[in-house]
């Protein structure tokens, strides 16, 4: 690891550092520093490890919050029934632009994550450990170096996945490990059942990187010491990614149930016009609700929010909430794989409506169409992407309703879009309409209905339209058959 540059997210903590212990003195804990910081990991057999996870109600930290013990028992039941050893998978493919906690863990304390995976692999008799990381992320360098330093209970390998939002979805990750396209499976299949849903059809226990690190901490501390912080229902600490406009995000460790206000204060932030909790599959909170919001799953649900993967973004008062939301909506629509109706039609239609709203070109009917499209997107998708996106966008329309009204009744709120909501560097393709050539023929909307919507006078409603990979065929048809040669397909990145 010497002389190898790594992108190392900065960390802070409220209270006692657990997951972040040792990072006040070192940028990264190699195996020697890790063993000096944490006591030896006590061995646990199968029943002891399951009992520990159940006693602490340990849940997944990747967003869904599924109980770890229930998932492990289902995996082991399949393994016992089929006589097949399970596979342990660490999900470190963090495609959420507003989240950096898993990047931090894999870059700075990789052995804590591997401790949890190795503990389970040993107790459950696993055949293999697989660590999924984002391509070009710190984990691509840090994890193989950590694996080479330590003894392992079974073979282990790192798999690099493309930097896409849906790459961290469990089904997409397993497909990538199996050498298939990294996209959610068209038909949902449980990894614990093996067959089509597992690594090489084996029963597979997959959890987020933070979940494995929490398991390692719990095994060292024991249930009583582990539960000495946090809430009774959700003991321990959580990792939060707090995004700061104009600079890098901070990863903050805090006891579960900590109020959001002190976390923002520690990062030098104000609630502004609103606070997004849970990232782009999360929900917006009004400033006065955000300050006292308890950072726990049950506490946020009571406020209509969700903890998700713990990504937090504040929206300053000097930017346009509608324009900011429209930019993210367009990106989320292109990040889908277009395999099911909610993504293929609902998200793209909602993104187009929000783009029109941001420019003051939308009436009440367009807004109602957007709400309808998002309502449809909340059920029946192949994965959680349409549901999470709909939650994010619908909460924005609710929390920023005054700004929405200003855009419906006139030119808008008068504030420019500063681009404070984090998004990756623009890449991929986009359609561009040349207004000097466009005659309002409308053929483009017939050939590419998922991309182009027409306004009341028959012209496309947007001059620049992001194009997802699955939409490129329709985009090329629109370009090739436009009678006025008014549509171009441009590639970026």
Where do the domains of the chain lie, and which CATH numbers do they carry?
10-225 (3.40.50.11540), 236-315 (3.10.20.600), 318-424 (1.20.1440.230), 426-493 (3.30.70.20)
* pLDDT of amino acid 373: 76
More confident residue, 475 or 261: 261
Has residue 411 got a pLDDT over 70? Answer: yes
Please give the Cα distance from 125 to 85 (Å, whole number): 6
Residue with tokens 């990145």: 493
Has residue 6 got a pLDDT over 60? Answer: no
What are the tens digits of pLDDT across the range 74-127?
A: 999 999 999 999 999 999 988 889 999 999 999 999 999 999 999 999 999 999
Closest CA to 112 of 13, 12, 234, 17: 17
* DSSP secondary structure of 30-44: -HHHHHHHSPPPPP-
Has residue 318 got a pLDDT over 50? Answer: yes
Please give the Cα distance from 76 to 422 (Å, whole number): 40
- Give the pLDDT mean for 382-392: 85
- Give the pLDDT mean for 470-479: 85
Has residue 64 got a pLDDT over 80? Answer: no
C-beta separation of 203 from 193 below 8 A = yes
Please give the Cα distance from 209 to 211 (Å, whole number): 5
* Average pLDDT score over the chain: 89
Has residue 9 got a pLDDT over 60? Answer: yes
Q: Which of 159-173, 268-282, 305-319, 389-403 has the lowest mean pLDDT?
A: 159-173
Region of 222 (left: φ > 0; alpha: ψ -120 to 50; beta: rest) is left
- Give the pLDDT mean for 34-44: 94
Sequence-ordered list of residues with C-beta below 8 angstroms from that of 322, at least 6 positions apart, any chain: 354, 357, 358, 400, 403, 404, 407, 412, 413
More confident residue, 412 or 258: 258
* Residue % of the chain over a pLDDT of 90: 54
User: How many Cβ atoms from other residues are within 10 Å of residue 325's Cβ?
Assistant: 28
Distances in whole angstroms, Cα of residue 18 to Cα of each of 37, 198, 308, 312:
10, 32, 20, 20
Residue with tokens 């493919």: 93
Helices marked H in 292-433: 297-301, 321-335, 341, 348-358, 364-377, 385-399, 401-409
Residue 3 pLDDT level (bands cut at 50, 70, 90): very low
* pLDDT of amino acid 5: 47
Residue 224 pLDDT level (bands cut at 50, 70, 90): very high
Has residue 2 got a pLDDT over 60? Answer: no
More confident residue, 127 or 365: 127
- Give the pLDDT mean for 227-244: 95
- Give the pLDDT mean for 253-282: 96
Q: Which of 96-105, 171-180, 259-268 has the lowest mean pLDDT?
A: 171-180
Sequence-ordered list of residues with C-beta below 8 angstroms from that of 108, at least 6 positions apart, any chain: 8, 9, 11, 23, 27, 28, 29, 142
* pLDDT of amino acid 7: 64
Instruction: List beta partners, residue 168.
Output: none
């Amino acid at each position: 690891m010497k002389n190898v540059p790594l992108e190392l997210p900065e960390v802070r903590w409220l209270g006692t550092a657990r997951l972040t212990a040792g990072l006040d003195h070192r940028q990264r804990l190699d195996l020697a520093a890790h063993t000096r910081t944490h006591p030896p990991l006590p061995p646990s057999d199968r029943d002891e490890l399951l009992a520990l996870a159940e006693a602490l109600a340990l849940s997944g930290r990747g967003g869904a919050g599924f109980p770890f013990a229930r998932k492990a028992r289902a995996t082991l039941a399949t393994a016992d029934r089929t006589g097949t050893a399970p596979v342990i998978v660490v999900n470190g493919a963090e495609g959420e632009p507003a989240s950096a906690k898993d990047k931090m863990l894999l870059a700075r304390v990789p052995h804590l994550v591997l401790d949890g995976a190795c503990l389970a692999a040993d107790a459950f008799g696993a055949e293999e450990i697989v660590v999924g990381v984002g391509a070009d992320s710190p984990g691509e360098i840090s994890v193989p170096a950590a694996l080479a330093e330590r003894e392992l209970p079974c073979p282990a390998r790192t798999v690099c996945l493309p930097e896409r939002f849906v790459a961290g979805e469990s089904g997409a990750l397993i497909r990538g490990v199996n050498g298939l396209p990294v996209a959610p499976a068209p038909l949902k299949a449980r990894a614990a059942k093996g067959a089509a849903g597992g690594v090489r059809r084996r029963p597979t226990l997959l959890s987020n990187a933070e979940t494995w690190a929490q398991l390692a901490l719990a095994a060292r501390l024991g249930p009583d010491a582990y539960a000495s912080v946090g809430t009774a229902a959700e003991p321990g600490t959580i990792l939060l990614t707090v995004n700061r406009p104009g600079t890098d995000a901070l990863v903050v460790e805090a006891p579960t149930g900590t109020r959001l206000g002190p976390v923002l204060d520690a990062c030098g932030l104000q609630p502004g016009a609103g606070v997004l909790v849970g990232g782009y599959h999360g929900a917006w909170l009004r400033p006065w609700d955000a300050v006292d919001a308890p950072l726990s799953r049950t506490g946020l649900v009571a406020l209509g929010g969700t903890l998700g993967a713990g990504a937090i973004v504040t929206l300053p008062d000097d930017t346009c909430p509608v324009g900011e939301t429209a930019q993210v909506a367009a990106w989320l629509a292109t990040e889908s794989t277009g395999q099911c109706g909610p993504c293929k039609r609902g998200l793209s239609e909602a993104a187009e409506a929000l783009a029109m709203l941001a420019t003051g070109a939308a009436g009440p009917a367009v807004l109602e169409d957007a709400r309808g499209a998002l309502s449809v997107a909340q059920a029946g998708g192949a994965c959680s992407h349409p549901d999470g996106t709909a939650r994010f966008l619908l909460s924005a329309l609710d929390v920023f309703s005054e700004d929405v009204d200003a855009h419906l009744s006139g030119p808008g709120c008068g504030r420019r879009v500063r681009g404070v909501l984090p998004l990756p560097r623009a890449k991929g393709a986009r359609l561009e309409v040349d207004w000097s050539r466009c005659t309002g023929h409308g053929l483009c909307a017939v050939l590419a209905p998922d991309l182009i919507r027409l306004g009341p006078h028959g012209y496309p409603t947007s001059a620049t339209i992001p194009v997802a990979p699955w939409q490129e065929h329709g985009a090329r048809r629109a370009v090739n058959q436009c009678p006025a040669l008014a549509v171009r397909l441009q590639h970026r990145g």
